[in-house]
């Protein structure tokens, strides 16, 4: 049962922001605003900039639905500000947001909890002039990606040493550390978590080389198969692993955990998205629909979990 704690509150929908995922965030935010409006909530769309604290105060925001993606929105930064201002907000709290966004720290935690992940090398900018054979403990092809970006921004699949330097340069545009992993050929599977429980797994078939930015957000560039066509035992294993991953990172409310399942049906955890997309092509709303929750119901369920780290949310 939903208690509608925020029905008469001024809800700021935080969108846009300063990251490379700004355009996607604007679409997520617009969709959330429309849903809240249909549901009868007072929603105030806020395009987040460096004056966000003053804006929140001026608009007398009483709760925040975070529809931001990427740096400053998904990494604990905006969560810290909202904690200081004592404004309840959606999604995970500061620490879990920061850890999930930092792939280096995430993989450390995954390994510490014996969760299956690809072999991983973290490379900083000073080490980047070394040859891949000196640095990488695995053969080509490899995946190169930034440590702290989402939506597949800055990701390259490298098939030979000739393309390695270009991939490093691309990834280093987004931070001082990058991730290098062996390329795993297999099924791309994403698991939605809602109210701390896995709601299902969906397979993505991309028309490109992998599920990149274009495949994620351009209609028709990928095919979604729900439920993911995995053997029953593997399907259950993936759901269990997703819940464990969500919990060991310390996530709240909802998230999406991304996997690759290889040809031998071995699942590998790639990352946790603490603020999964809320656009018309996003996976979380699609999985919710398959479980009887339309978009408006999903948005309401999420906003009613809003809290600060110092104030536990009411049971719903």
Give the catalytic positions in this structure. 21, 151, 217, 256, 258, 271, 273, 277
The two three-digit tokens of residue 42, written as one number: 């007072």
For strand 42-47 and strand 10-15, is the pairing parallel, antiparallel, or unpaired? parallel
Please state, in angstroms and rounded to a whole number, the distance separating the CA atoms of residues 239 and 243.
6
CB atoms within 10 A of CB 255: 25
End-to-end CA distance of the chain: 5
Please state, in angstroms and rounded to a whole number, the distance separating the CA atoms of residues 257 and 183.
18
What phi and psi, each to the nearest 5 degrees, are found at residue 13? -95, 105
> Residue 170, Cα to own-chain centre: how many angstroms?
21
Q: Which residues contact 176 (CB under 8 A, 6 or more apart)?
A: 124, 125
Partnered with residue 191 across adjacent β-strands are: 201, 257
């Amino acid at each position: 049962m939903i208690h509608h704690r925020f029905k008469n509150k001024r809800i700021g929908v935080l969108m846009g922001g300063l990251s490379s995922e700004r355009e996607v965030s604007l679409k997520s935010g617009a969709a959330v605003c429309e849903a809240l409006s249909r549901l009868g909530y007072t929603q105030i769309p806020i395009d987040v900039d460096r004056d966000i604290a003053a804006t929140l105060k001026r608009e007398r925001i009483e709760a925040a639905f975070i529809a931001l993606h990427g740096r400053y929105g998904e990494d604990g930064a905006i969560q810290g500000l909202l904690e200081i201002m004592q404004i309840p907000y959606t999604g995970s709290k500061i620490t879990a947001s920061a850890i999930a966004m930092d792939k280096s720290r995430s993989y450390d935690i995954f390994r510490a909890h014996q969760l299956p992940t690809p072999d991983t090398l973290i490379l900083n900018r000073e080490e980047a002039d070394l040859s891949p054979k000196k640095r990488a403990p695995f053969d080509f092809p490899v995946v190169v990606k930034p440590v702290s970006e989402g939506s597949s921004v800055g990701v390259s699949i490298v098939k030979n040493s000739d393309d390695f330097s270009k991939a490093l340069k691309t990834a280093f545009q987004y931070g001082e550390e990058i991730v290098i992993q062996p390329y795993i050929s297999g099924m791309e599977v994403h698991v939605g978590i809602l109210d701390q429980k896995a709601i299902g797994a969906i397979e993505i078939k991309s028309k490109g080389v992998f599920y990149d930015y274009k495949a994620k957000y351009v209609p028709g560039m990928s095919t979604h198969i729900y439920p993911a066509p995995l053997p029953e035992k593997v399907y259950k294993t993936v759901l269990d692993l997703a819940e464990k991953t969500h919990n060991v990172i310390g996530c709240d409310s909802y998230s999406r955990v991304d996997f690759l399942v290889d040809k031998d049906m071995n699942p590998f955890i790639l990352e946790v998205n603490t603020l999964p997309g809320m656009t018309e092509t996003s996976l979380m709303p699609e999985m919710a629909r398959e479980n009887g929750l339309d978009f408006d119901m999903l948005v309401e369920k999420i906003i009613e979990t809003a809290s600060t780290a110092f104030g536990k949310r009411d049971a719903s």
